[in-house]
Structure 1
Amino acid sequence: MSTTTALQQQVFALDARYNAHRVPQSPNFRTLYIRRRNQLLREASRPTDRWKQYIKLRSLLLQQRYGNAKAEQHSSSNSLSLAGSLRSLTISESTTPIRSPSGSVVPTKEAEASRAIVGGNTIAENYAFVGVQHIFDQHTNGVTMIKFANNDKTRLCCSSLDKTLSVCDSLGTPPTVLAILKGHSKGVTGFDWSINNDLIVSSSLDGTAKVWKVADFNCLRTINDPNLFPILCCLFQTSNNNLILTGNDRGELRVANVSTGRFLKDVCRIGGSILSLTSDTNGRVFWTGNDKGEIMSVFCESNGSLTKLKKLNLPSSCLVTSISYRTWISREARDPLLLVNATDDSIYLFNIIDAEGNLRLKRKFQNSQRKYIIRSTFCPIMSFRQGACVVTGSEDGSVYFIDIVKSGKKCIVNTLQGHSSAVLGISFNYDESLLATSDLQGLIIIWKKGNA
């Protein structure tokens, strides 16, 4: 990314930070304003020194007009403490950029030979997401998770601490919010699409999981945690979408039946507060992450019975805020992998080494994360290029594209700057033409590739 493009994104981030102050009673106008600002900034042509002068002047004018936006940012940040369901974290935010420690993945010659298949583009060229397709601001609090529908280029679901979910069409003319799903009485912590995209399951601090019909956006089922403990994550069982797995803040992993609307009697006690959950392709082995720095593998029978398998402890007692599974993403990373975010300023990449879900550390990267539920994702296309890429949010407001093959500063292949608060959610559509990111203030940005 050029210096000029980076400075343009800094101006965009500055405007986004103050956007909530503009015409508070007219969110449509604010969305239109920030989209137009982005368009004008991309069309503007200035030397680097002029951009730097413009940023200083723009910042001064906005502060004089609206005051210091950071005060509001910090006041709203408390809402992401999961309403007191997690232990209090008093450590201040880190703004250290991502760095990569020693360690590498040895490239294979086969990748070198197959680069011609994809035109010889580099990882950096392939992930040059610089343009903004659209900006959504329908949520009034942090957007905890965003996810495109399975094998779908356009439909995007978002969950928020404002107690609602939203389903959007990100490529409409214009892009639109198709529905706001209301029914939870407290913040929505996460959700999942069913394999056919006909259902959405959501989890909430109100101690319920709700199943929504996508056809008419009505609530099909409300499933109550037996003790109404806050539910912090949920997932459809891949091979049987009539079963849903949930993790609550008392460390209980449970299975619910969509048809009956009830939890099964079997309870798997993980401990701590279960913050993150993922499964292998077949939905047989699941991994949970809790607020004690523990990652546990669990076997799920076809009838929903759960058996704990193996536990791995991260070096520090931190929050494991995101876990993603991938069979392989490139010729250099063919083993099954887990991608993990944790509040020790780290992103971990693990090899899955056996059928019981045992993990072996492959790489570790430093990220700015000490307090919030930050997520990351594998890039969905299995790349034939030399290199393999993951994308993560951070508490410094940036989105980082990381080549897991490279080390040092070279591992950062792209950085997006458009959010003015911690970036919580990350999601690609299936063909990587769009990337969606969400932040602590409720802003959702749909990024498109530079050549799109």
Structure 2
Amino acid sequence: MRPLAASDPERVGHYRMIGELGRGGMGRVLLGTAPDGRPVAVKLMHARLTCTPGFRERFRAEVAATRSVSGAYTAAVLDADADAPTPWLASVYVPGPSLRDAVRTAGPLPEPAVLRLAAGLTAALAEIHRAGLVHRDLKPSNVLLAADSPKVIDFGVARAAEGDGGDGPTGVLAGTPGYMSPEQAEGRSATAAGDVFSLGAVLVYACTGRGPFDGPGPAQALYNVVHAEPDLSGVPDRLRPAVAACLAKDPARRPDPARLRAMLGAVAPAAQPWPPAVQWMIDERRAWIGWAPVPEPAATLAYPRRPRSGPFTVLGSPRGALAALGVLAVCAAVATALVVVPWSGSAARSGPGSHHSAAPPPSRSLRGHTASVRDLVFTPDGRTLASASDDATVRLWNVADGKQLRAPLDHPDGVNALAMSHGGSTLYTAGDDGSLRLFPVSGKGEPSDLDIDLGPLTSLALSPDDRVLATSNTDQSVRLWDLDDGKVGPLLGTDAGNVQALAFAPDSRMLAIGTTGTEQDPKTGNTRGVAQLWEVYDRKRLSENLSGHDSWIEDVAFSPDGQTLATAGGETVRLWDVARSLQTGTPFQCDGRCHTAEFSPDGRTLAAGGSEGTVRVWDVARHRQLGPTLTGHDGAVLSVRFSPDGRTLATGTQDGTIHLWKVPV
């Protein structure tokens, strides 16, 4: 749970708000209390939906229908107001993580837990269909894992958000690519049989951590739903026949909930239906409302997946230290075999302008690009590095031996920016030709394209929760993509010059935008770049222009705790207090123009590359340079990136070379 922001309502209807539980494609969910003290989950619909013709009428009708649904496997609707300035819906609060969050944190569920999940979801669909409703958007984030059973949420809300003909307000099919049925993907009506198809896809996710039709992007997932056979590898033998039947392309061949229950067979009772790691997440949510203290995690509790945002996975939690322990475990697990040359004089702490220590050679140099390397990104395990270049290719490198993993990934034109999904499965690339391409990192499957037809893409950022993609082109705006629903959001107009850089805050709620600015510096003749902070889901400006650079801003980066923003532009890197939108400390000086900046994973150091072919690494707290200046780059340094364990710094240069350096400690 996150604390309420200053702009959040203190009350919604009769309910007092406590904090924010989450956000999605249709709205925000706040935790509140009823007058009698009961905890409730209040969903505030996005303001943009109220502009959709007929939305309030559909919302009112669907809420009335959903209130007739009751049972052990759904979260009962308690109250709603379709006529409020921001329509809202209150339901019983379920203290448990979504299936999506549980699997991402603790890994796929074991077979007995999936069987209990399947039985519960089957019963939930029976209740929903008995009331004459169709869910339309059953997916892992709409399934909550409570202490006793799964609970289905948001039934009926998807229909309220649909426009005429079943399409969403942006003209994109309602539902979620990869989980909607083939008939829904083709624009036909959503039916009860479609919910059964979605159930089959959800069960595959619970077993494997991926959907049966996953591809590099929503377009490929939709294609796979209609044309490809589901990937059932990893689904236990006992579940496979039932799951395969749910995923039949022909709706008439899918079992109804009663038949599916018979196919699953009897499910053994269990005092604790979920694995210990999931049970801990449930206990934590119960503690939010004072139902139970959060127990210390067992010493054997393991989290096989990298936390979503490093040590900030559980924001506002009294047990944030658990996530930090997870980070340490991951760092130990993914240490590579890369042999590095010790940093000469690494223990020395030099002043900002000092060069008294000899510059060390890089531990490894990666060569293959024939033009400037514009961007770099590591996979979450640190074993693979992706690079984008003006030579119209993206290349994947094995960090341990410096070799390319396979043939270059070709683009029609130069590639300016990269983003990696936080599971490491998909690489997003932005090109000069205006194409946004999605590549499977494993090499299995085909890339897909999203042609947004907005001109050359200058920057790209992916939210840490993998739900929103931000892109900018050569104008003064930013486009937001809802990856959960496959929908394209409106443009954010900065009115502050062309957008050069984008970065999401660790909690995914805020987007930093770096621009060229519109006012000219009388000394240099350059426009003075400014940065802006935006609220992602409500699309509101959170700050005035952050100014001070004598040239345009070329890079922006958040510290891992989200409290500090670094902006690189002109000859300096400046740090800003995010909460107050005020500059802190003295600017760090680059050699020539500052092209790029990056915080280390622990937030203690900051690296920046400049036009003179050097990289400086600073101790942020002491405001002093750490070790000697890194030299030996042939041309400007356009990208710097720390490995996930913070031990290696990758630098991309104008001559097409990538250097790997050992980080001083």
Structure 1 residues 133 and 177 mapped into 2: Cα distance closer, same or farther (>3 Å)?
same
TM score, norm. by length of structure 1: 0.61
Question: Tell me, which stretches of 5 or more residues in structure 1 are unaligned?
Answer: 1-122, 329-334, 383-387
Q: What's the CA shift for 1:397?
A: 1.0
Q: 1:166 aligns with which of 395, 399, 403?
A: 395
Flag the structure with larger Rg: 2
The match for 1:237 among 440, 463, 473 is 463
**Cα deviation, residue 176, structure 1:** 1.0
Q: Where does residue 437 of structure 2 map in the other structure?
A: 210
| SS of aligned partner of 2:542 | strand
| 3-state SS, counterpart of residue 396 of structure 1 | coil
1:416 counterpart = 2:630: yes
SS in 2 for 1:281: coil
- Measured in 2, the distance between the counterparts of 1:270 and 1:202 equals 23
Query: How far apart, CA to CA, are the structure 2 residues paired with 1:257 and 1:322?
Result: 23
Q: CA offset at residue 184 of structure 1?
A: 2.2
Cα deviation, residue 297, structure 1: 1.0
Pairing 1:150-299 to 2, within 5 Å after superposition: 150=380, 152-172=381-401, 175-216=402-443, 219-226=446-453, 228-239=454-465, 241-258=466-483, 263-264=488-489, 266-271=490-495, 272-292=497-517, 293-299=529-535
Aligned counterpart for 1:125 among listed residues 326, 332, 347: 347
Report the alpha carbon displacement of residue 327 of structure 1 after superposing the two structures with TM: 3.9
Please tell me whether the aligned partners of residues 412 and 433 of structure 2 are also in contact (alpha carbons under 8 angstroms): yes
**What is the deviation of 1:269?**
0.9
After superposition, the Cα gap between the structure-2 partners of 1:203 and 1:261, relative to the gap in structure 1 and judged at 3 Å, is farther
Does 2:574 correspond to 1:379? no
Q: Secondary structure, in 3 states, of the residue corresponding to 2:478? A: strand
Note closer, same or farther for the CA distance 1:365–1:317 as it changes in structure 2 (3 Å cut): closer
| Distance apart, 1:448 and its partner CA | 2.9
Once residues 392 and 203 of structure 1 are traced to their aligned partners in structure 2, the CA distance between those partners, rounded to angstroms, is: 22
Question: Does structure 2 retain, via aligned residues, the 8 Å contact 1:351–1:362?
Answer: no
Taking structure 1 as reference, are residues 237 and 390 closer, same or farther at Cα in structure 2, changes over 3 Å only?
Answer: closer
Q: How many angstroms apart in 2 are the aligned matches of 1:142 and 1:218?
A: 28
Mapping for residues 405-444 of structure 1, pairs under 5 Å: 405-406=621-622, 411=625, 413-444=627-658
Measured against aligned partners, the alpha-carbon deviations of 1:310-343 in whole angstroms (never above 9, x if no partner) come to 2324235622111110144xxxxxx811111102
Tell me by how many angstroms 1:153 deviates. Answer: 2.7
Is the 1:252–1:270 Cα contact (8 Å) retained in structure 2?
yes
Q: Does 1:351 align with 2:577?
A: yes
Cα distance, 1:164 vs. partner? 1.0
Letter in 1 for 2:616: Y
Matched position secondary structure for 1:415: coil
Aligned equivalents of 1:369, 1:185: Cα separation in 2 = 32
For the residues of structure 2 that align with 1:374 and 1:316, how far apart are their CA atoms? Answer: 13
Q: Which of 587, 590, 596 is equivalent to 1:367?
A: 590
2:533 is matched by which residue type in structure 1? Answer: S
* Contact 2:348/2:627 (8 A) holds in 1: no
Q: CA RMSD in A?
A: 2.9
Conserved in 1, the CA contact under 8 Å of 2:387 and 2:395?
yes
Aligned to 2:341: none
Q: What is the deviation of 1:405?
A: 3.8
SS of the residue 1:125 aligns to: coil
- Alpha-carbon distance in 1 for matches of 2:422, 2:664: 30
Tell me the CA shift for residue 156 of structure 1.
0.6
Between stretches 427-436 and 390-399, larger displacement belongs to: 427-436
Report deviation, 1:220: 3.4
Matched, 1:142 2:372: yes
CA distance, structure 2, for counterparts of residue 198 and residue 156 of structure 1: 13
- Residue type of the partner of 2:534? V
Is the contact made by 2:616 and 2:625 (CA closer than 8 Å) also made in structure 1? Answer: no
The equivalences for 1:313-328 within 5 A come to 313-316=546-549, 318-328=551-561
Please, which runs of 5 or more residues in structure 2 have no aligned partner?
1-344, 350-356, 518-528
CA distance in structure 2 between the partners assigned to 1:221 and 1:263 by the alignment: 16
Could you report, residue by residue, the CA deviation over 1:204-229 in whole angstroms, capped at 9, with x for unpaired residues?
Answer: 11112111111216553311224x31
DSSP 3-state at the match of 2:545: strand
Code of the residue aligned with 2:385 in structure 1: it is L
The amino acid of 2:540's aligned partner reads T
Query: In the TM superposition, what is the alpha-carbon distance from 1:276 to its structure 2 partner?
Result: 0.6
Kindly indicate whether the alpha-carbon contact (under 8 Å) linking 1:156 and 1:170 is maintained by their aligned counterparts in 2.
Answer: yes
> Any residues of structure 2 matched to 1:397-408 within 5 Å, and which?
397-406=613-622
Q: Is the 8 A contact 2:595 2:639 kept in 1?
A: yes
Q: Secondary structure at the match of 2:475?
A: coil
Give the C-alpha shift of residue 180 in structure 1. 4.2
SS in 2 for 1:411: strand
Q: Which residue of 2 aligns with 1:393?
A: 609
How far residue 262 of structure 1 moved from its aligned partner, in angstroms, is 6.0
Q: Does 1:309 align with 2:572?
A: no
- Tell me: CA distance 1:257–1:351, structure 2 relative to 1, closer, same or farther (3 Å): closer
- The amino acid of 2:544's aligned partner reads K
Q: Secondary structure at the match of 1:431?
A: coil
**Residues 130 and 448 in structure 1, CA contact (< 8 A), matched pair in contact too:** no
Provide the rounded CA distance (Å) in 2 between the counterparts of 1:262 and 1:393. 36
CA contact (8 A) 1:425 1:438 kept: yes
- State how 1:65-76 maps to structure 2 within 5 Å: none
Q: Whose strand fraction is larger, Structure 1's or Structure 2's?
A: 1
Q: 1:125 to 1:431 in 2, by over 3 A?
A: farther
| Letter of the 1:307 counterpart | K
Partner SS state of residue 627, structure 2: strand
How much does 1:193 deviate?
Answer: 0.7
Q: Decide whether the 8 Å contact of 2:375 with 2:416 is kept in 1.
A: yes
User: What's 1:52 paired with?
Assistant: none
Q: 1:130 is paired with a residue of what secondary structure? A: coil
- Counterpart amino acid of 1:363? T
- The CA distance in 1 between the partners of 2:664 and 2:555, in whole Å, is 28
Output the CA distance in 1 between the equivalents of 2:632 and 2:372.
16
Residues 35-56 of structure 1 deviation map (CA, whole Å, 9 limit, x = unaligned) = xxxxxxxxxxxxxxxxxxxxxx
Residues 274, 288 of structure 1: 8 Å contact kept:
yes
Q: Distance in 2 between matches of 1:391 and 1:244?
A: 25
Contact 2:530–2:548, Cα closer than 8 Å, also in 1:
no
* Mapped partners of 1:320, 1:395: distance in 2: 14
Partner of residue 340, structure 1 = 567
1:203 alignment partner AA: A
1:316, 1:181 → 2: CA distance?
A: 37
Q: C-alpha distance in 1, partners of 2:548/2:634?
A: 30
1:270-295: CA deviation from partner (whole Å, max 9, x where unpaired): 13211111111121110100111111
Distance (Å, rounded) in 1 between the aligned partners of 2:650 and 2:406 = 18
CA distance in 1, matches of 2:531, 2:663: 34
Separation in structure 1 between the aligned mates of residue 398 and residue 348 of structure 2, nearest angstrom:
24
C-alpha change, 1:395 and 1:187, in structure 2 (3 Å) is: same
